[in-house]
Amino acid sequence: MPEDRPFRHDVPDIHGLPEDVRDRILAVQEKAGFVPNVFLLLARRPAEFRAFVAYHDALMEKREGLTAAEREMIVVAVSAAHSCQYCVVAHGAILRVRAKDPRIADLVATNYRKAGLPPRQRAMLDHAIKVATASHLLGEEDHAALQAAGFTEDEAWDIAAIAAFFSMSNRLANATDLRPNAEFHTLGRR
């Protein structure tokens, strides 16, 4: 039933892209088996593509502190708060894979407060959602709550920065009518 256009702009020809942009896209394709639509969308503007990918990798590929699955949980919760279809479906798939849990993405996307998460992850997502939806109200009490849940200042920065980065990403996707690739819906469901 859903129409098949991946976003509201023309899809660029991969072979006409700058080499570094093309290489990154081909690398993702090789690994995932398909090209996530967000890469084709951003490739329209190579400078923005590079900055987006560099920022994303700095926050999401880091392996100290938060686990890979925790980082994806933040993305899914924040993207759901912004009703970002692409981000919930695509990162929901990645979360299932990273957490090796076929149900976690649906639970976090629909209501992370009812996802049976341990207190540490509940505190992490409470903070991420406040950053995403009411950052002007953040105060010392929020940092104290993170510390009480066992997070360092550096991890607190990661939580806030991931929530902030995807607050941007969600808006870009919503403004360009970005739709999730069909592959994401089934990935990691076993």
Among 16, 33, 136, 141, binds a second copy (CB under 8 A): 136
The yes or no reply on residue 177 touching a second copy (CB under 8 A) is: yes
Assess 99 for contact with a second copy (CB under 8 A).
yes
Q: Binder to a second copy among 11, 65, 101, 145 (CB under 8 A)?
A: 101
Amino acid at 178: L
User: From the CB of residue 188, how many other CB atoms can be counted at a distance below 10 Å?
Assistant: 18
Q: Does 152 bind a second copy (CB under 8 A)?
A: no
Out of 18, 116, 119, 150, point to the residue binding a second copy (CB under 8 A). 116
Neighbour tally for 119: CB within 10 Å: 10
Tokens 């929020």 belong to 142
CB of 106 to a second copy, least distance (A): 5
Q: Which of 15, 30, 63, 137 binds a second copy (CB under 8 A)?
A: 137
What does DSSP assign to residue 7?
Answer: S
d(CA 178, CA 190): 26
CA nearest neighbour of 95 among 109, 111, 113, 116:
109
Does the protein bind a second copy through residue 113 (CB under 8 A)? Answer: yes
Asked if residue 148 binds a second copy (CB under 8 A), the reply is no
Are 183 and 37 contacting, i.e. CB atoms less than 8 angstroms apart?
no
Query: By CB under 8 A, what part of segment 39-98 binds a second copy?
Result: 44-45, 47-48, 50-52, 54-55, 57-59, 80, 82-85, 88-89, 92
What are the two backbone dihedrals, phi and then psi, of residue 6, each rounded to the nearest 5 degrees? -80, -25
